[in-house]
Copies of this chain bind each other. A is one copy, B any other.
């Protein structure tokens, strides 16, 4: 009775062929919000939203392999990048709510995310808590049934166009490091919030600084329990390290193939073949990760896949500039000359630097002793 993987893939392919928007997304601002919401709504209406999410909240509860097949077809159809304004809702907040949220939280938020009604933004990093997330200082003091939040976040993706924020704050003022944090749903229209977009070296401002001045958030918006936010946040980040970036991976492979097709310099061929092989290995690793995640909790392979992807993406972007030069139409893409290349510099920085991720893998996967860093 269940659809074969090949049939599923064929159905996905044909739907995508007919529905993928002709033009890519604007890179920032309200237009990018409208574009992302419209495209999400279209996918939901086509029956392609929340493929692995629980049926109880409108999801499809499909297998991870079907999800992979979807993403592969998605990338093949050159559908809008999944690294858009929906990313936080689909790949951070949604899965976190599914794993740690209350029934009310799930019932209220998951359908809105899936149906393309809301944009979520991030709220973890702070000016002095980048790779060292546990040192964050934004405070939320319990007053009655509310938290009163004061402080500042930075590198908050999509904060300027977001409806809700996944906000990690220190709710036990006496606590330090990983203790006493809470993961909170913050409505971005709450009084006291100021958003200042940050331009990046790649141009568009998809990040922002967010300032909190006595921002009042109901205690019922806490996800995963008061002062238990570190655990919830680690869950959030682990989703990002799983299959979330599968469509991005496939796009990366496609870009490698474009480079191979365009390049006829023997001196570059070895580099390109390494990229090709590594992209194939990334896919093999992701399949393995997906298969394992079907049968039980997966370990830290996810963080390896994420780091592997990040560094491969940088290498591909760099090869592209090397081959085409800085002024070539291939480098122009749709977002301005060199955008993809410049943007790739964030791969080994955003969400914890590659250096800190290497430490974490060495300690958690390999069991090497903790050092000073």
Contacts and interface: CB of A to CB of B under 8 A. Distances in A.
A244 to B, nearest CB: 34
A371 interface: yes
A276 to B, nearest CB: 15
Interface stretch (A144-152, A232-240, A264-272): A264-272
A274 to B, nearest CB: 12
A4 interface: no
A269 B269 CA distance: 12
Copies of this protein chain in the complex:
2
A373 B371 CA distance: 9
Interface residues of A, number: 8
A295 interface: no
A372 interface: yes
A270 B372 CA distance: 39
Contacts of A269: 267
A266 B264 CA distance: 12
Nearest to A266: B266
A141 B118 CA distance: 78
Contacts of A371: 372-373
A269 B270 CA distance: 12
A66 to B, nearest CB: 41
A126 B318 CA distance: 45
Nearest to A270: B267
A226 to B, nearest CB: 35
Interface in A213-268: 265-267
A296 B95 CA distance: 66
Interface string A167-179: 0000000000000
A111 B270 CA distance: 55
9 contacts: A265-B266, A266-B266, A266-B267, A267-B267, A267-B269, A267-B270, A371-B372, A371-B373, A372-B372
